[in-house]
Chains A and B, each alone.
Chain A
Amino acid sequence: MLTVSDLSHRYVANAPNAEIRFGSFSLDERHALLLRGGSGAGKSTLLHLLGGVLPIQPQSGTAVLAGQSLQSLTRPERDRLRPYTVGWMPQRQFLIASLTVLENVLLPASLAGRADAATRQRASELLQSFAIADFAHVRPHTLSVGQAARASLARALVTQPGLLLADEPTAALDAGSSRLVIEQMARYVERGGAAIIASHDPAIHALWDAVSGGKAALAELELPR
């Protein structure tokens, strides 16, 4: 699914001290990777590189996702990676306030012009299984933080992407909401998906093991500061 070799990123060109090194790793279907590291270690940056939001600079290693070298992709090609190859759950819930919860969930498919009946059905099922179906037609401001996080995860999964990128998915969530979110991620991985989760939350690994019952593997990658 994903192979990363000697990947690094410089925010400031020609400044070796501003380089973040991610090393090499790979990720297969039915596997998840938990990115660890302190603030500034580059967890979000790695997600942005793998999701095609940031370009991989020349001589900064390689990343091959679903058989495509990310380095060789143009910006429009990287844009097309999302949302069908890569599903994104951003660090903040980032629901668009002027759309309903269902419209938010359908957003990636709608932007790709593929919000057909099957996708709508899948969106409704996701809302149902994430226990927020009653909020489908209301604006996001009526949701709690935990409900908004679930809606954000439903949006990342509605297109059935091969790789889910989740940036601090349990930040600011209570224990119940964290469990629901991690449970849904584990279900997605069990069904053949792959996920990279960037998180400070020390409870995630134990939570993952508890909800997945060992059916979905979670490895850890500690990024050096």
Chain B
Amino acid sequence: MTFLLIRRFLVERPWQFALAVMLCALGMASAISIVWLQSVLEQHARRQAEGIDIVVGAKGSALQNVLAAVYYLDVPNGNIPLKEVDALRANPQIAKAIPIGIGDSIGGARIVGTSDEFIPFYDATLASGTLAVAPMDAVLGAGVARHTQLKLGDKFVGSHGLGESGDEHEAFAYRVVGILKPTGRVIDETVVTPLESVWRVHEGHSASTEPEATFALIQAKGPVGVATLPRLINARPGLQAAVPALESARLLTSFNWVALVVKVFAGILVLAAMASLLGALLQALARREPDLALLRAMGATRGTLAGLMLGESLVLIAVAAVVAGAMVALAAWSFQRFALPGIVIDAGDGFLYGLAGLAIAALLAALATIPVLRRCLSIDVAAQLSSR
């Protein structure tokens, strides 16, 4: 009978039920999405720097070097001689030293001149075509191929700088020889070409007559190397070592207040959802006081009434949780599809965040039900039964 009553009570006013569910679900979904998105972005940032222990660039801002070399989000401080990269390769503490030359872009995607170690370094593999072997051969990351619609054999020219409005190097056309499979890393939004291509396009732009690279991505052989190499590198004229893990942590620390604001906002959304649940339950209780008094007169114990209200609250929160789950999944899909296609969203992580969010919501729902239960248990049965 209790389940029958819960079901009937809930569906007797379907629009009010739907409204309460939607308000609850919106609050929960927004809160879960915000916290999850923050985690996804942090994970994404960490993933881009995976395997890169040190970035070696020209003297200047270490953070700027990391942003430019790892995330392609900033302009480099300058160039470094290629022979310095070769010298680093000879260091026994260094496992890999990959030179990269950047300066141009296509459709906002960086054109990266580099060695043939670059693609395996990001665990990328070809979806079609071949690797770049000759100058002006270009291998497109999966994201670049998707949004530029370039195909194997197509030719294109790069624009100077990172923006889409830079001067075009019209005399130097790249030819697409390969397209990579998606990796979820920055290489998806990169055009990979031999370092010689960058030298050819920028011939005469540099004061130096020696071959240059913009950065070297360093992978140390162990933690001792990560600790000692920066000092060694910084001692060399014109070179600066930046540790992406340290620079990223420093950057994130300076934005701690943003994370706090986001979490407070998420908390407010959850509380708003619970307030709407409490409002819906109190409204339902006020409407049903005569029915509940009648149930008592028919032999229902106070425990039965408590079970009814609690059951109604739990059903409402469960339906809201399913709707919230669907909303979060839709938000994640839209985010990945339209906002940041390169970001890999871990469904398992999302499930855990969702579960944690829903557990908190369920706990708060139970708390929100307490005042309803108190009022429910204090119904004056005699007064209700006698009222005209």
Contact = CB atoms under 8 A, between A and B. Distances in A.
Contact of B298 (A44, A98, A155): A155
A96 B296 contact: no
Contacts, number: 80
A53 B381 CA distance: 7
Interface in B1-45: 1, 4-5, 8-9, 11-12
Interface stretch (A21-29, A56-64, A84-92, A143-151): A84-92
B295 interface: yes
B290 interface: yes
B134 interface: no
A79 B385 contact: no
Contact of A90 (B5, B8, B9, B297): B297
Interface stretch (A105-113, A179-187, A215-223): A105-113
Given A83-B299, A91-B386, A98-B12, A103 B4 contact: yes
A80 interface: yes
Contact of A51 (B5, B11, B297): B297
B299 A80 contact: yes
B297 to A, nearest CB: 5
Interface residues of A, number: 32
A111 B308 CA distance: 12
Interface in B263-310: 290-291, 294-302, 304
Secondary structure call for the B interface = helix
B388 interface: yes
Contacts of A44: 382, 385-386
Contacts of A79: 296, 299-302
Contacts of A210: none
Contacts of A84: 299
A63 to B, nearest CB: 16
A107 B298 contact: yes
B294 A82 contact: no
Nearest to A99: B8
A123 to B, nearest CB: 14
A92 B388 contact: yes
A48 B385 CA distance: 9
B299 A91 contact: no
Nearest to B291: A96
B385 A91 contact: yes
Interface in B349-388: 381-382, 385-388
Contacts of B304: 111
A48 B4 CA distance: 28
Given A44-B385, A91-B386, A97-B12, A110 B291 contact: no
Contacts of B296: 53, 79
B327 to A, nearest CB: 29
A51 B382 CA distance: 10
A167 B301 CA distance: 22
A167 B298 CA distance: 14
A53 to B, nearest CB: 5
B5 to A, nearest CB: 8
Contact of B294 (A45, A48, A90): A90
Contact of A91 (B4, B301, B388): B388
A45 B298 CA distance: 17
A54 interface: yes
B383 to A, nearest CB: 10
Contacts of A108: 298-299
A95 B204 CA distance: 93
Listed from nearest, the 9 A-B pairs whose CB atoms lie closest are A98-B8, A110-B1, A82-B299, A98-B12, A83-B299, A108-B298, A48-B382, A94-B294, A44-B386
Interface of B: 1, 4-5, 8-9, 11-12, 290-291, 294-302, 304, 381-382, 385-388
30 contacts: A44-B382, A48-B381, A51-B297, A75-B302, A79-B296, A79-B301, A80-B299, A83-B298, A90-B385, A91-B385, A92-B385, A92-B387, A92-B388, A94-B290, A94-B291, A94-B294, A96-B5, A96-B291, A96-B294, A97-B12, A98-B5, A98-B8, A98-B12, A99-B8, A107-B295, A107-B298, A108-B299, A110-B4, A112-B299, A167-B385
